[in-house]
Amino acid sequence: MPTHTLNELPANILTRIIAFLCQDIIHEHAVLADYWEAMRIATVCRHWKSCMPPHAYRFVFRSKDVGQVVWVSNITSLLCQQNPHLPAILRVIMSDDYTGPLRLTTALGALGLTSPPWDRLNTIQFYGKGILRSGTDCHTLDMQKDANAFFDFIRHSYQTLKAIGLHAAIPPHTDDTLGAPPSPTTPEPFNYTISPHYQTLLSRFARRLSSLQCFQPTTLTFHAPATLMLASLELDESCFRVLAPEVYFECLNLRKLRLLNIENEVPVGIFKHGFAWTGPLSRLTELQLHFKSGSDSQQQTLALPAHLLRTFPKLSKLLVSQSTGVLLQINENHRKLAQIDTGIIRNISCLHLKTILPGGGSKVNDPAHFVTRFYLADSSVRRALLQTMVPFPTRLCWHSLVCLSLDTDIAPVALIKQLLGQLVLLKYLRISCTTMDPDDRDSYYWRESYMSEDTCDAIPPTGHNAIRLDDLQTSSDIRTTNKSLQVFGMRATSHFDEAAISRLLLSLPALQQLAVDTEHADVIRSNIERIQSDVVVCEYSEISRYFRLY
């Protein structure tokens, strides 16, 4: 078999080799710690440039480690590979606790980072406590004059600047598939006043910036109030609390809000009109909430405003990470529900979905799909409360569901069995309906298509109401519907099928408690004796403690 040197191999083979060697180095969201590993491979392969994806060069940076005098950079690598046109982000990193004069303008000019080859730079990210504190000690004779000069330099050198990042902590390697900057680790708390350089930058670039990232420190103080007009805002929760009195966010164009290191509950107050916002979040399309990892708290909850679309009328994406219990409340007209991306329920633990019904008790002449499309969405939800008069979930893809409370129009036993067969982990089920009779068309709340498409097709010709309770020979033919259900509550305002409910108990071997209205309790108990079941019958209201979401 012939042998080849590395540089003699075809480019397609080299690409695979490099991808394997680099592993996570060249993926789109790799961070600075991986860069030098990638460059070591570049030094032995002349095909490196042709094999690398453009995003491998998206950063140009200047970095200085704690205790080191010499700054390091990837500028030479980019110039040697003739790629100065590719970077879009300039990262300046300095971990030292430095408060002396900021000489960054001199350094950037000397390195040629202000010349035309770097014309794609549109983002500057400042990393490290030292870079944020520079220019705040006695050696800077006139801090504001120095800050003005810094602003003039940035404005003249980077005329396409659209985003600024302020990061007290340097992020570790992460595989952040969302395309957002990696979440920083949580350092020891520290408090300081940020250099006026950045206050001046933010205030004077206010009408040009589209994005601001501000992660840690615990206390971040600006020298004067500022108003920012942004499309993207990414903040550590503690930064937001401190920024709020001094920095106002013009929300007309804000489309993405990302909060990091949330300790326990999301501070719902930050979404209220008048709290740091100059207007409602009318164009917000994406909301990301990242709870602090490693928190000992078991009370992490997300309780967004119930009228979700009234607060965020354009919201289509909600992401929640590293939380032990996330409650999402949605209280909207069923037609507005059609505007919400069903992905909003993917990463939640508890869901309270309530539809607002039209007045006068009138029926809905709309497709049930406005609501049922949420039933078909993948979700990690474990506890759900569905109101009011929602369509019966003939198909439900929430496979982790343990507790379900349902307020619907029609709930025949055949549909209940079908639902229980899908939810193998369900322990607590409570259903309040108008009728259990599938032939009572006057009780259907949704338009006729819901009945024909979703309900009648799922109901066999012979329902439980046709099965005689004294014919116990047929009990051997009854298959187990659900092995986990322990508590079941059933209520119907018109037709309540006592015989069918009694017969259903035979297919629920783990059931311990059946809750019904008082008027049906005696008949149910009598039927239970006849089918020799140990289920305890109680009043419907007695099981409410099992269905609390918060």
Report whether 367 contacts 347 (CB < 8 A).
no
DSSP 407: E
279 band by pLDDT with thresholds 50, 70 and 90: low
Whether the predicted pLDDT of 492 surpasses 60? yes
- pLDDT of the residue at 412: 92
Whether the predicted pLDDT of 481 surpasses 90? no
For 192, the 3-state DSSP assignment is: strand
Q: At what angle do helices 11-22 and 35-42 cross, to 10 degrees?
A: 150
- pLDDT of the residue at 280: 64
Spatial distance between the Cα atoms of 28 and 177, rounded to a whole number of angstroms: 8
Higher pLDDT, 359 or 531: 531
Spatial distance between the Cα atoms of 259 and 244, rounded to a whole number of angstroms: 14
Higher pLDDT, 404 or 478: 404
Return the percentage of the chain with pLDDT > 70, whole number.
58
Q: At what angle do helices 196-204 and 143-157 cross, to 10 degrees?
A: 50
- pLDDT of the residue at 535: 92
Spatial distance between the Cα atoms of 535 and 504, rounded to a whole number of angstroms: 12
Spatial distance between the Cα atoms of 305 and 244, rounded to a whole number of angstroms: 20
Q: Which amino acid is at 30?
A: A
- pLDDT of the residue at 472: 46
- pLDDT of the residue at 84: 78
- pLDDT of the residue at 29: 46
Report which listed range, 26-40, 143-157, 309-323, is most confident.
143-157
Question: What are the CA-CA distances from residue 251 to residues 230, 242, 258, 259, 306 (Å)?
Answer: 7, 18, 14, 16, 21
Least confident window among 1-10, 127-136, 139-148, 193-202: 1-10
32 band by pLDDT with thresholds 50, 70 and 90: very low
Report whether 452 contacts 395 (CB < 8 A).
no
Let me know if 391 is exposed, middle or buried by CB neighbors in 10 A (0-12, 13-18, 19+): buried
For 300, the 3-state DSSP assignment is: coil
What mean pLDDT do residues 333-344 have? Answer: 79
Least confident window among 97-101, 158-162, 186-190: 186-190
Whether the predicted pLDDT of 490 surpasses 90? yes
The tokens for 534 are 């140990």
Spatial distance between the Cα atoms of 500 and 478, rounded to a whole number of angstroms: 13
What mean pLDDT do residues 13-40 have? Answer: 58
- pLDDT of the residue at 420: 95
- pLDDT of the residue at 229: 64
Whether the predicted pLDDT of 473 surpasses 80? no
DSSP 177: T
Residue in 334, 328, 271, 264 with CA at minimum distance from that of residue 300: 264
The tokens for 293 are 């990892």
Whether the predicted pLDDT of 3 surpasses 50? yes
- pLDDT of the residue at 139: 66
Whether the predicted pLDDT of 37 surpasses 70? no
What mean pLDDT do residues 104-109 have? Answer: 78
Q: Which amino acid is at 373?
A: R
Helix then strand then coil, in percent of the chain rounded to 5, is 30, 20, 45
The whole-chain average pLDDT of the chain stands at 72
Higher pLDDT, 98 or 547: 547
Whether the predicted pLDDT of 302 surpasses 60? no
Least confident window among 131-145, 200-214, 528-542: 200-214
To 5 degrees, how large is the angle CA 364–CA 370–CA 375? 120
Q: Give me the residue spans of the domains in the chain.
A: 9-57, 59-172+183-250
The tokens for 349 are 């633990």
pLDDT in tens, 381-435: 999 999 888 999 989 999 999 999 999 988 999 999 999 999 999 999 999 999 9
For 109, the 3-state DSSP assignment is: helix
pLDDT in tens, 175-221: 332 234 444 444 444 445 667 777 677 767 655 666 666 654 433 44
Report whether 167 contacts 194 (CB < 8 A).
no
Residues with Cβ within 8 Å of 289's Cβ and at least 6 positions away in sequence, in order, are: 259, 262, 266, 302, 318, 319, 320, 321, 323
Let me know if 377 is exposed, middle or buried by CB neighbors in 10 A (0-12, 13-18, 19+): middle
Report whether 228 contacts 163 (CB < 8 A).
no
Spatial distance between the Cα atoms of 262 and 160, rounded to a whole number of angstroms: 33
pLDDT in tens, 41-50: 665 666 666 6
Spatial distance between the Cα atoms of 64 and 72, rounded to a whole number of angstroms: 6
